[in-house]
């Protein structure tokens, strides 16, 4: 991911990192563009969204292909928020390292199957409330489950 | 592009024309349309002043002739148009956000390069914005530097659906190839200039500040336009005239000045939008030529607008720059919907145009002998403020406003017809797939019906009838207009209903008023035209004869006789259309039948 601003919260930063891993499972063709898309998404959100204005001689059809990156970024934030709640201490650097290792290292918090189910359910629920289509929602939720399950068990540190 | 793509819907897309002739047609019509609004009065009076030096009068304190007044406001208008057009690239760049030159070796860059080569485009710069959430593209720029601005999200499109990215780029290149950039942004500049000059004018009128500089602008440009409307609508107001005291104050006329100004802006904007919509369809068709209609059609499957009701969709579409995606997809798969000119529309457009031409010419003809500059409507010595003139008009008959509203409504209908007309003319070149003779005949017929409508509208309308009734011009002015005119009112009502039905039927019902679907569209259009001509002239003839019998005035007899000339011409056109219809039925390409069958 691109360098983040100092004002960025750990949830935003870690959510973006998790999203970068998630996008490779959900929409791999967007992978290379993910950082740029998330940057635009954040800028747009900071400005309160941009109202579409019809321009002369534009194409005039709105969205041509669906962009998944903002969705997986939001899903990533939900996952990270849950994990930070679990850890209840300064776990952010360890979580970041865990993401950077692409889950090859043990999880920084204990993530048994029950917890993973809870995380997935939360992702499904919150994304559903955001109006994400059920098919896409399911795809993202299952991708989250797949990523979290590939990690070795928590080593208790 | 596969062979099946190329011949989808029975159309050989590769055979579509370059768009040169369409540009000419559109420019001609746009020029006509725009010049019929705000600037026309200025231009007309400028020419009039040149032809009749000294005939005009001084409208404002100081020595200002008509000629100098008009030569003053016209260059001002042209300067504004030039300025806005020259500045449009800067304004567009600012609106679309910062952009950088597209990397030619990126996935999107390769697509752009390929499409530019396919289209033979040499002088255009592809730029891309940073906003990855936006998808789409824009074409703009001055003749020596054209731009295609790609939204950052097009990178995602190129990565996920390269064929759709190709279609988007092809669409924009289509705009460049058709000269839409000049057409679109020059048209926009005209509206912007109109807005600026009108704001200045209205401000002058409201402030009542007339000087050597501001007076001519207000009295020559804006003033004549509303006066023409008011003058044209007088017979109606006289026909149903009674008095409303409360509208005779000064504030009401002031509000009317402002509303008139807004009306002209909205009207012109609507026509501009109609023009742009037509160019979108043509760009779609051209894009289909390069990347295949199925690919272009897929663009419209994802991006549909979701207007809840059909009538909202239709109403909103009048001011939108792009046709509804559903309509675009339809036009793409059934191009004859776009390319087939409707004769009845040409007639209807001409008819309403003729009516208003008559209104304008009657008014301007009247001010010529009058030579007071105040026209026949208000018999007070100039100079006077516009609002005062309106107040005076209303004081004489408050229902003048009813007439104004009627005329405004008719103009809106005219707008919708002309928008539709533009749409078809814009794509007329595609007719060339059926051969040059077909195009020539179609164009001739279209023009013929337009002129026919113009002639009918010019002669058979309330003002013309009123003129015949009262032996125009009326000495003594407005008092003479108080002749009871319920007959004329009935004719006005009849005319309005006819025109409205014609417009609504043609534009909304797609000629279903003609009923028989077995007949070809030309034949149906012809049938409707024939009926309208017969009804209108029948009514005209019967009315004139009845008046002759009632009054013994031979003027009515001559009016009835003159009514036979245009129907005679109409008959010739009708016969030609019939020949053409049958000839076309035999000789037309298999496009229509094949693709109609395929799409049923």
- Residue B36 contacts A where some CB pair is shorter than 8 Å: no
For B149, phi and psi rounded to 5 degrees? -90, 120
The SS3 assignment for B146 reads: strand
Please answer yes or no on whether B139 and A53 come within 8 Å at the CB atom. no
Reduced to 3 states (helix: H, G, I; strand: E, B; else coil), residue B199 is: helix
| E runs forming strands in A20-131 | none
A46 Cβ under 8 Å from any chain B Cβ = no
Question: 100-139 in A: which are within 8 Å (CB) of B?
Answer: none
Instruction: Round to whole Å and give the CA distance between B157 and B167.
Output: 11
The alpha carbon of residue B520 and the mean position of all alpha carbons in its chain are separated, in whole angstroms, by 26
Instruction: Pick the closest to residue B561 from B551, B571, B550, B548 (CA basis).
Output: B548
Identify the pLDDT of residue B2: 44
Residue B579 DSSP label:
H
Return per-residue pLDDT of chain B as tens, 600 residues: 444 444 444 444 444 433 333 444 444 444 444 433 333 333 333 333 333 333 333 232 222 333 344 444 556 777 888 899 999 999 999 988 889 999 999 999 999 999 999 988 887 899 999 989 888 899 999 988 899 999 999 999 999 999 999 999 999 998 888 778 887 888 788 778 777 766 766 666 556 555 545 544 444 444 444 444 444 333 333 333 333 444 444 455 556 556 656 665 666 676 677 667 777 887 888 888 889 888 998 988 765 554 455 555 555 666 788 887 877 887 777 665 554 445 665 676 666 666 655 554 444 433 333 333 333 232 333 334 444 545 555 555 444 455 454 444 555 555 444 444 444 444 343 333 344 555 556 656 666 676 677 667 666 665 566 555 555 443 333 323 322 233 333 344 444 444 444 444 443 333 333 333 334 444 444 455 555 555 666 666 676 677 777 777 666 665 555 445 445 555 555 555 555 445 444 444 344 444 444 333
C-beta atoms of A33 and B180 within 8 A: no
pLDDT at B241: 37
Q: Is A52 left (phi over 0), alpha (psi -120 to 50) or beta?
A: beta
Vertex B429, ends B426 and B432: CA angle to 5°? 155
3-class SS of residue A62: coil
The residues near B2 (Cβ < 8 Å, ≥ 6 apart) are B292
Residue B97: how many other CB atoms lie within 10 Å? 14
pTM for the full model?
0.63
pLDDT at residue B563 in the model: 45
Nearest chain A residue to B181 by CA: give it. A57
3-state secondary structure of B139: strand
SS3 B334: coil
What confidence score (pLDDT) does residue B142 get? 92
From B256, B307, B532, select the one nearest B524 (Cα to Cα).
Answer: B532
Q: For chain B, say whether A64 makes contact (Cβ under 8 Å).
A: yes
Residues ≥6 apart with Cβ < 8 Å to A133 = none
Residue of chain A with shortest Cα separation from B166: A64
Mean pLDDT on A80-92: 76
Chain A: residue whose CA lies nearest to B282: A57
CA closest to A60 among chain B residues: B322
- pLDDT recorded at residue B101: 94
Q: What is the mean pLDDT of residues A148-152?
A: 76
Can you name the residues that pair with B141 across neighbouring β-strands?
B146
Hey, is the C-beta of A65 within 8 angstroms of any chain B C-beta?
Answer: yes
Residue B321, min C-alpha distance to chain A (Å): 6
The number of beta carbons lying within 10 Å of the beta carbon of residue B224 is 22
What does the domain layout of chain B look like in residue ranges? 3-79+194-377+384-590, 97-174
* Residues facing B306 on adjacent strands: none
| Cβ-defined contact of A64 to B157 (cutoff 8 Å) | yes
Residue A30 at interface with chain B, using a CB cutoff of 8 Å: yes
Min distance B596 CA to chain A CA atoms (Å): 26
Return the biggest CA–CA distance within chain B. 86
Cross-chain residue pair B155–A33, CB shorter than 8 Å: yes
How far does the CA of residue B429 sit from the closest CA of chain A (Å)?
A: 20
Burial of B311 (0-12, 13-18, 19+ CB in 10 A): exposed
Closest CA relative to residue B220, chosen from B64, B55, B403, B396: B64
Q: Which residues of B touch A42 (CB under 8 A)?
A: none
Strand, coil or helix: B141: strand
Flag whether residue B299 sits within 8 Å of chain A, measured between CB atoms.
yes
Give me the interface pTM, i.e. the ipTM. 0.86
Q: Is B162 near chain A, with CB under 8 Å?
A: no
Question: Does a cis peptide bond (omega within 30 degrees of 0) precede residue B383?
Answer: yes
Cα(B505)–Cα(B567) distance, integer angstroms: 22
In the stretch 87-106 of chain B, residues with CB closer than 8 A to chain A read: 92, 95-96
**B125 token code pair:** 């710069």
Cα separation, B305 vs B313, whole angstroms: 9
CA distance B245 to B398: 8
Are B427 and B277 spatial neighbours (Cβ–Cβ below 8 Å)? no
User: What are B406's two structure tokens?
Assistant: 């009627």
Class of B97-174 in CATH: alpha beta
CA B46, CA B72: separation in Å to the nearest integer?
10
The position carrying tokens 């070796």 is B105
Asked if B320 and A54 come within 8 Å (Cβ–Cβ), the reply is yes
* Cβ atoms of B400 and B241 closer than 8 Å: no
H helical segments located in B7-65: 20-35, 38-51
Q: Which residue of A has its CA nearest to B153?
A: A37
pLDDT of residue B521: 43
User: Tokens 């003594």 identify what position?
Assistant: B476
pLDDT for position B567 = 52
Measured CA distances, B91 to B46, B84, B87, B95 (Å)? 33, 9, 6, 6
Q: Say which DSSP state B57 is in.
A: -
Alpha carbon distance B73, B213 (integer Å) = 9
B322/A54 touch (CB, cutoff 8 Å), yes or no:
yes
Q: How far is CA B251 from CA A123, B258, B403, in A?
A: 62, 11, 19
Q: Looking at the DSSP assignment, which residues form a beta bridge with residue B146?
A: B124, B141
Q: How many CB pairs under 8 A join A and B?
A: 109
Chain B interface mutation, best of A64, A70, A73, highest count of B Cβ atoms under 10 Å = A64
For residue A15, what are the CA distances in angstroms to A75, B131, B535?
A: 8, 21, 73
**Residue-wise burial string across A57-90, b where 16 or more C-beta atoms lie within 10 A, e elsewhere:** bbbbbebbbebbbbbbbbbbbbbbbbbbebeeee
Q: What is the DSSP letter of B305?
A: -
Helices (H), B292-371: 293-302, 310-317, 325-333, 336-339, 343-370
Instruction: Report the 10 Å Cβ neighbour count for A6.
Output: 4
Count Cβ atoms within 10 A of the Cβ of residue B218 and give its class: 0-12 exposed, 13-18 middle, 19 or more buried: buried
Picking from A29, A52, A24, the residue whose alpha carbon sits closest to that of residue B151 is A52
What pLDDT score does A55 carry? Answer: 85
Q: Go through chain A and tell me how many residues it has.
A: 157
Whether the Cβ atoms of residue B317 and residue B323 lie closer than 8 Å to each other: yes
Would you give the DSSP letter of residue B373?
S
Contacts of B349 (CB under 8 A, 6+ apart): B414, B417, B418, B421, B450, B453
Q: What pLDDT sits at residue B31?
A: 42
pLDDT for the residue numbered A150: 77
Residue of B nearest to A55 (CA): B321
Residues of B in contact with A57 (CB under 8 A): 138-140, 172, 175, 180-181, 184, 276, 279, 321
With CA atoms as reference, the chain A residue closest to B134 would be A63
Calpha distance A132→B186 (Å, rounded): 42
Q: Do A40 and B279 touch (CB under 8 A)?
A: no
Residues of chain B neighbouring A47 (CB-CB closer than 8 A): none
Give the CA distances from residue B510 to residues B495, B567, B598, in Å, rounded to whole numbers and listed in that order: 21, 25, 20
Please give, rounded to a whole number of angstroms, the shortest distance from the CA of A21 to a CA of chain B: 18
């Amino acid at each position: 991911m691109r360098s983040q601003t100092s004002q960025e919260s750990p949830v935003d930063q870690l959510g973006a990192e998790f999203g970068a891993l998630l996008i490779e499972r959900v929409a791999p063709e967007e992978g290379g563009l993910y950082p740029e898309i998330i940057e635009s998404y954040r800028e747009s959100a900071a400005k309160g969204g941009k109202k579409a204005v019809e321009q002369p001689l534009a194409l005039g059809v709105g969205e041509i292909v669906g962009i998944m990156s903002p969705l997986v970024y939001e899903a990533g934030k939900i996952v990270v928020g849950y994990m930070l709640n679990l850890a209840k201490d300064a776990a952010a650097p360890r979580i970041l390292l865990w993401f950077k290792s692409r889950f090859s290292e043990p999880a920084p918090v204990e993530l048994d199957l029950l917890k993973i189910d809870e995380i997935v359910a939360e992702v499904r629920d919150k994304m559903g409330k955001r109006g994400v289509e059920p098919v896409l929602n399911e795809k993202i939720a299952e991708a989250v489950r797949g990523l979290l399950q590939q990690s070795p068990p928590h080593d208790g540190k | 592009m596969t062979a099946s793509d190329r011949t989808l819907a029975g159309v050989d897309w590769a055979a579509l024309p370059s768009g040169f002739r369409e540009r000419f047609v559109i420019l001609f019509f746009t020029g006509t349309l725009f010049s019929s609004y705000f600037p026309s009065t200025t231009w007309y009076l400028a020419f009039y002043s040149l032809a009749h030096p000294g005939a005009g009068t001084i409208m404002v304190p100081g020595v200002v002739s008509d000629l100098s007044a008009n030569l003053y406001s016209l260059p001002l208008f042209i300067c504004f148009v030039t300025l806005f057009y020259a500045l449009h690239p800067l304004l567009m760049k600012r609106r679309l956000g910062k952009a950088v030159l597209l990397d030619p070796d990126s996935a999107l860059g390769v697509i752009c390069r390929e499409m530019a080569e396919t289209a033979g485009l040499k002088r255009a710069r592809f730029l891309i914005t940073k906003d990855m959430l936006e998808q789409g593209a824009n074409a703009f720029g001055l003749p020596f530097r054209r731009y295609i601005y790609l939204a950052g999200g097009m990178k995602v499109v190129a990565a996920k659906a390269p064929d759709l990215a190709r279609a988007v780029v092809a669409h924009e290149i289509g705009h460049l190839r058709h000269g839409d950039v000049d057409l679109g942004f020059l048209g926009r500049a005209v509206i912007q200039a109109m807005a600026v000059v009108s704001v200045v004018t209205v401000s002058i009128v409201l402030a009542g500040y007339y000087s050597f500089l501001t007076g001519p602008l207000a009295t020559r440009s804006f003033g004549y336009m509303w006066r023409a409307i008011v003058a044209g609508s007088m017979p109606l107001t006289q026909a149903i005239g009674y008095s409303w005291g409360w509208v005779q104050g000064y504030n009401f006329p002031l509000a009317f000045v402002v509303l008139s100004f807004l009306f002209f802006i909205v009207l012109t904007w609507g026509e501009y939008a109609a023009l742009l919509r037509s160019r979108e369809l043509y760009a779609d068709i051209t894009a289909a030529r390069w990347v295949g209609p199925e690919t272009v059609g897929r663009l419209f499957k994802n991006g549909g607008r979701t207007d809840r009701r059909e009538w909202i969709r239709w109403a909103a579409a009048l001011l939108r720059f792009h046709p509804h995606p559903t309509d675009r997809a339809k036009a793409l798969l059934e191009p004859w919907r776009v390319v087939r000119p409707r004769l009845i529309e040409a007639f209807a457009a001409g008819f309403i145009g003729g009516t208003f031409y008559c209104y304008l010419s009657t008014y301007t003809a009247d001010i010529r002998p009058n030579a007071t500059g105040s026209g026949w409507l208000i018999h007070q010595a100039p100079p006077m403020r516009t609002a005062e003139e309106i107040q005076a008009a209303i004081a004489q008959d408050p229902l003048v406003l009813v007439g104004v509203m009627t005329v405004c409504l008719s103009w809106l209908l005219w707008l919708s017809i002309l928008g539709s007309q533009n749409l078809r003319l814009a794509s007329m070149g595609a007719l060339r797939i059926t051969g040059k003779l077909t195009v020539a005949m179609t164009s001739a017929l279209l023009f013929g019906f337009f002129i026919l409508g113009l002639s009918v509208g010019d002669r058979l309308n309330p003002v013309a009838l009123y003129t015949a009734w009262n032996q125009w011009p009326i000495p003594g002015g407005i008092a003479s207009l108080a002749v009871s005119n319920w007959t004329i009112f009935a004719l006005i009502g009849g005319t309005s209903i006819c025109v409205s039905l014609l417009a609504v039927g043609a534009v909304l019902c797609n000629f279903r008023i003609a009923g028989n679907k077995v007949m070809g569209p030309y034949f149906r259009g012809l049938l409707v035209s024939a009926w309208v001509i017969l009804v209108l002239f029948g009514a005209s003839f019967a009315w004139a004869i009845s008046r002759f019998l009632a009054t013994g005035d031979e003027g009515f007899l001559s009016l009835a006789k003159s009514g036979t000339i245009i129907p005679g011409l109409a008959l010739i056109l009708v016969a030609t259309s019939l020949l053409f219809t049958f000839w076309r039925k035999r000789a037309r390409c298999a496009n229509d039948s094949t693709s109609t069958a395929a799409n049923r």
